[in-house]
Amino acid sequence: MWQMNLRLLLPAAPALLLVAAWAADRAGLTPDCAQQPVGERIWTVTRVIDGDTLEDACGRRIRVLNVDTPERDTPDGPSATAFTRCWLGPLPATAEIDICPTSPRDRYGRVLARVHRVTDDTDLSSALLANGLAWPMFIPPCATANVTTDTATYEQARRHRIGLWAHHTTEPVPPRIALAQQYPPFVMVSGRVQRIDTHKRYITLIVGRGPHTLQIRIGRRSLPRFAEAGIDIERLRGGRVVAMGKLYRPERGQPYLYVDYPQLLRAPSPDSGQ
């Protein structure tokens, strides 16, 4: 009986192997992928999802650190995606992936990493910011080592109206103008701190008045960074600040932006002109 069943199965063996291989490949479990540790630095990029998200040969998504590029369906989204594709070169392309050691994945399961081009060691985050195709988005604690240089690169591109900044103001705007701005979602807002609210996970600076009010949220875990930079949050009460960040618009409550690094929050002196 066993020999007869074996004879019946032999003709179907190649097809069964193909199906098994296809299923393993779809699941990202091919032998090469199974043997490649997440800590491996050289990855093969096979797909550019958008300007700041890549996919490797094993189906792993890579979220490029310290930048946020326009969505694909927004005015500059296709340009950011095309730039990243051109920067990588013909796909599949090898890239050096510098994974965040303290928080290697985000809540969506994407690998958080800086991406370097193997041929010349240039950095994708810096290239996107320098060409005005991204704005800063710093995720603590992964971003800490590069916040100052990435902020400076962004500011230089904006000041010289490069890329998407060619069509947007280079100066801080009051809350009412920031709230009216639909694109890009990254704003540079200037306003007087009307009050400071404390919450369990963050401290909020309230700027603007009435319907033109927005919040600047600073995570409590980020407060030591501000203290090290010489910024006393309590002393900002009643003073004017300039903050940079992505503006979130919840269905309920006031619009807000997160500022977790002192490089994105400034308290200009009265004679600075801001």
Beta strand extents in 92-155 (DSSP E only): 93-99, 111-117, 135-137
How many percent of the chain have pLDDT more than 90? 74
CB within 8 Å of 207: residues ≥ 6 apart: 175, 189, 191, 192, 193, 194, 213, 214, 215, 216, 241, 243
Residue 132 pLDDT > 70: yes
∠ Cα 134 219 251 (to 5°): 70
Can you list the domains of the chain with their CATH numbers?
39-163 (2.40.50.90), 171-266 (2.40.50.140)
Residue 229 pLDDT > 70: yes
Residue 5 pLDDT > 90: no
Task: Look at residue 212 in the predicted model and tell me its pLDDT.
Answer: 93
Residue 54 pLDDT > 60: yes
Residues 231/239, Cβ–Cβ less than 8 Å: no
Give the number of C-alpha atoms closer than 13 A to the C-alpha of residue 154, restricted to the C-beta side: 23
Task: Look at residue 36 in the predicted model and tell me its pLDDT.
Answer: 54
Q: What is the pLDDT of residues 152-181, one digit of tens each?
A: 999 999 999 999 999 988 899 999 999 999
Task: Look at residue 269 in the predicted model and tell me its pLDDT.
Answer: 61
Residues 246/135, Cβ–Cβ less than 8 Å: yes
Phi, psi of 178, rounded to the nearest 5 degrees: -60, -40
Task: Look at residue 70 in the predicted model and tell me its pLDDT.
Answer: 96
CB atoms within 10 A of CB 10: 9
Pair of tokens at residue 262: 């002192």
Residue 4 pLDDT > 50: no
Task: Look at residue 253 in the predicted model and tell me its pLDDT.
Answer: 85
Phi, psi of 167, rounded to the nearest 5 degrees: -110, 10
Task: Look at residue 268 in the predicted model and tell me its pLDDT.
Answer: 73
Q: What is the pTM of this model?
A: 0.83
- Collapse the DSSP code of 206 into the 3-class scheme (helix H, G, I; strand E, B; otherwise coil) and give the result: strand
Kind and range of the H or E element at 89? none
143 — pLDDT class (breaks 50, 70, 90): confident
Among the listed ranges 136-140, 202-206, 266-270, which one has the minimum average pLDDT value?
Answer: 266-270
Residue 31 pLDDT > 80: no
